[in-house]
Amino acid sequence: MAAPFDISLSFSDDETYVFALEFRNNDGTVMDLSTSEFDYVLRTRGADPSEVFEISTAGGGITKDLPNGVLTFRAPSNPTPAQYEHGCLWTLTASGDARQLFDGLVDISEGNF
């Protein structure tokens, strides 16, 4: 994994797969997310990984709270228990320049409900 930020998450299969990230400038002010789009993917691990789901600000699943500089990521359904890889791509809409924002691991455990 090679993104500038490593974000690892843990959920049970009984919990809603949702998480939020707050974006601030170095001076503490809210970052302007209105000129950016975000894409997120969850994949299985292993030699032949497959996509579990992909969500985005343009297509749905990622919402922007512009006044507070917060992105909320919400899966279309809960993945089954396993360990997954995930990542997020940040694209500036004016230029089309894209950067990988984060990647990491997601552990989904059996919640017993």
pLDDT digits (tens, 9 = 90+) for 48-57: 999 999 999 9
Domains of the chain, with CATH numbers? 5-109 (2.60.40.10)
Amino acid identity for residue 5 in this structure: F
Q: Residue 60: what pLDDT?
A: 96
pLDDT of 1 > 60? The answer is no
How far is residue 15 from each of residues 36, 43, 78, measured CA to CA in Å?
29, 19, 8
How far is residue 37 from each of residues 10, 27, 55, 73, measured CA to CA in Å?
25, 23, 11, 13
DSSP 53: E
β-bridge partners, 88? 40, 102
φ, ψ dihedrals at 66, nearest 5°? -60, -45
pLDDT band for position 112 (cuts 50, 70, 90): confident
pLDDT digits (tens, 9 = 90+) for 76-93: 998 999 999 999 999 999
| Range list of H helices, 20-97 | none
Sign of CA dihedral 66, 33, 60, 44: negative
Which is higher by pLDDT, 112 or 42? Answer: 42
